[in-house]
Structures are given as structure tokens and as C-alpha cells.
Amino acid sequence: MTETTGTAIQTADLYDERGEELQSVVLQFLDLGGHTAFSGPIRTIRCHEDNGLVKSVLNSPGAGSVLVVDGGGSLNTALMGDLIASAAVENGWAGVVINGPVRDRAVLATLPLGIKALGSNPRKSAKDSVGEVDVPVEFSGVVFRPGPMLYADLDGILVER
């Protein structure tokens, strides 16, 4: 049985209640973490086939935030694996949404962390920390800005405008 973090908020009910106040992510992410429902204020990273910033940010206090990583949709290298995800748990992150792949799926599924990603690839990424942190990122027609709330469950992802 999968678990949720915090108060379980059903995205369908939330959308019915708030409608166009929320952006709906149409991209079909896989649920890969131990929690399939999670929510929190957004933090962001834009990077390409380099997870140095992902590691750095998830090794800092998360305070229940959700990290949105725009990897440009590239499936060439994983942007998070078991060690970085374990650090996210230890540092109090609620979840991670990655527009790219992860690795170590079997371990990720056991962690008390929400993880949505495009898929998996065992190939490591670069570790040069090239990219940007806490800037607006956009994919799937949705703009993710640092600060607003993100809500995720098995039905999908909603983001405050």
C-alpha cells in the first residue's frame, strides 16, 4: 500500500473546488516514490543532464517543499537516484517532480517521498552543477514558480497560479 505525506488532498476534488486558480500538468508522469500523494511549496531547478544542483538542493533543508526539476525532458541520464532521494527524505522534502528520468527505482519505491518522473535510466549524469536554482521553469504548458503550492496524487499534478 502506498502512503501519502501530510493531509491527503485529492487533486480531482481540489480542482472541482478551485478550478482555474490551478494549472493542471497534462504530461503523464510515473509515480516512483513511496508516497503517491504529496504537496508543498515549490522550489525549482533548471538543468540538462547534470544533477549537481539537484544533489546540492536536496541536501539542504526542505521544510516540506516540492522540488520541480526541469531536465528539458531528456531521457539520456538520470537526474536523481537512491542516495540523493535518501538525502531529500533526511532533509524534510515532501516530493520531487522531474521532467527527466531517475535511477534506482526499486529503492526509490521504498522511500517516504513523493517522486514523479518521466521514467528511468541507469546512466549517471554530469556533476558540474550547471543550471539555475529557484527560477521559473515551464514544461507541459505549466509555469512552476518558487513559492506557490504544488499538489500531486495518482490523478496528476496541480499548481497554484
What is the gyration radius of the CA atoms in the chain, in angstroms? 14
Asked whether residue 115 is marked as a ligand-binding residue, the answer is: no
Asked whether residue 103 is marked as a ligand-binding residue, the answer is: yes
Cα distance between residue 16 and residue 124, in whole Å: 41
E strands present in the chain: 3-4, 22-25, 30-31, 35-46, 66-70, 95-102, 114-120, 132-133, 137-139, 142-144, 149-153, 156-160
Asked whether residue 157 is marked as a ligand-binding residue, the answer is: no
Helix (H, G, I), strand (E, B) or coil at 25: strand
Asked whether residue 83 is marked as a ligand-binding residue, the answer is: yes
- Binding annotation for Mg(2+): 104
- Binding annotation for substrate: 81-84, 103
- Binding annotation: 81-84, 103-104
